């Protein structure tokens, strides 16, 4: 990888994913990866690509943001480790291997870059960390709400980004009200996504946004927020 490409990938994570990693991305994945927002919601059917999307962001953060800290949390350590394994698998696709100062089954640190760490989703486990620049909460519908409230202060120091992602699991998990702005609905039958604003949503969509908690939408397979700010 030459210096010009490396600089371009640092500034354009979508190009990084498509060219350096050779990934074929859906439109909604490009939207999430390109987003500069701080709050994102992904409620997707299984195998929709949410783990790959999160792994791209975690790897990009570690490679191109010095002193960054990406934390991957799930209901169990096994699930967090699986998401971290996705990060390491993408790392192996790079044309030039990064120099690592830490490399094990639970974490990695890039020399001159940042750290990626996987943790089980418990309030007690995660409280010792601060200054996170990216937190990915996987299977958010199955993580206790107290964890969400313990995560939020960790993001304040460096203005970090929070991604909540899950498969549908009834009316559980963090409320959709953590998001506002642009929302992508993924139709469960055709899996075609479209962008809409809260003001431009259909009546069904507005009702879902106003009353349904994050992991459960009766008419859609998934909800994803791009460029969202906490309100």
Residue 65 lies in a domain: yes
Q: Give the pLDDT of residue 16.
A: 97
Q: How many independent structural domains does the chain possess?
A: 1
In 119-171, where does DSSP find H-type helix?
A: 123-126, 145-156
Round to the nearest angstrom and report the end-to-end CA distance of the chain: 41
Taking alpha carbons only, the member of 80, 87, 164, 172 closest to residue 126 is: 80
From start to end of the chain, where are the E strands? 39-43, 69-74, 100-103, 107-110, 115-120, 134-137, 161-166, 182-186, 193-197, 222-226
Q: Does residue 159 lie within any of the structural domains?
A: yes
Predicted pLDDT of residue 83 = 93
CA-based nearest residue to 180, from 12, 38, 16: 38
Is the residue at 222 inside a domain? yes
- Return the half-sphere exposure (C-beta side, CA atoms, 13 A cut-off) of residue 79: 17
pLDDT at 108: 97
Output the pLDDT for position 104.
Answer: 94
- Residue 113 belongs to a domain with what CATH number? 3.40.50.300
The token pair at 130 is 């601060």
Q: Which pLDDT score is estimated for 203?
A: 52
pLDDT number for residue 168: 58
As a whole number of angstroms, the distance between CA 87 and CA 221 comes to 25
Q: What is the pLDDT of residue 169?
A: 52
Within-domain flag for 6: no
Q: How many CB atoms lie within 10 A of CB 76?
A: 13
Does 20 map to a domain?
A: no
Q: Using alpha carbons, select from 91, 109, 93, 113 the residue that is nearest to residue 101.
A: 109
Rg, Å, the chain Cα set: 17
In a domain, 110, yes or no: yes
Cβ atoms of residues 195 and 227 within 8 Å: no
Query: Is 11 part of a structural domain of the chain?
Result: no
What tokens appear for 193 in the block?
């996504």
List the pLDDT tens digit at each of the 231 positions of the chain.
688 999 999 999 999 999 999 999 988 889 889 988 887 777 776 777 889 999 999 999 999 999 999 999 888 888 889 999 999 999 999 999 999 999 999 999 999 999 999 987 676 667 778 889 999 988 877 777 777 777 778 888 888 998 888 765 544 444 444 443 334 444 333 333 333 333 444 555 444 444 434 433 333 333 444 333 332
Range of the domain at 103: 25-226
Distance CA 91, CA 200 (A): 39
């Amino acid at each position: 990888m030459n210096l010009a490409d490396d600089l371009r990938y640092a500034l354009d994570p979508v190009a990084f994913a498509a060219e350096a990693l050779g990934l074929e991305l859906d439109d909604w994945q490009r939207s999430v990866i390109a987003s500069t927002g701080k709050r994102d919601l992904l409620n997707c059917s299984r195998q929709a690509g949410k783990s790959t999307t999160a792994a791209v962001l975690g790897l990009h953060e570690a490679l191109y943001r010095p002193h960054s800290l990406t934390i991957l949390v799930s209901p169990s350590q096994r699930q967090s480790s699986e998401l971290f394994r996705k990060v390491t698998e993408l790392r192996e696709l790079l044309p030039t291997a990064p120099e690592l100062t830490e490399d094990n089954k639970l974490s990695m640190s890039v020399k001159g870059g940042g750290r990626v760490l996987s943790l089980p989703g418990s309030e007690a486990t995660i409280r010792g960390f601060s200054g996170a620049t990216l937190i990915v909460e996987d299977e958010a519908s199955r993580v206790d709400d107290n964890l969400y409230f313990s995560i939020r202060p960790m993001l304040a120091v460096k203005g970090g980004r929070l991604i909540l992602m899950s498969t549908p699991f009834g009316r559980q998990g963090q409320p959709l009200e953590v998001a506002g702005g642009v929302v992508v609905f993924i139709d469960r039958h055709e899996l075609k996504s479209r962008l809409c604003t809260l003001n431009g949503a259909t009546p069904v969509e507005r009702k879902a946004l106003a009353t349904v908690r994050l992991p459960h939408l009766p008419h859609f397979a998934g909800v994803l927020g791009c460029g969202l700010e906490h309100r």
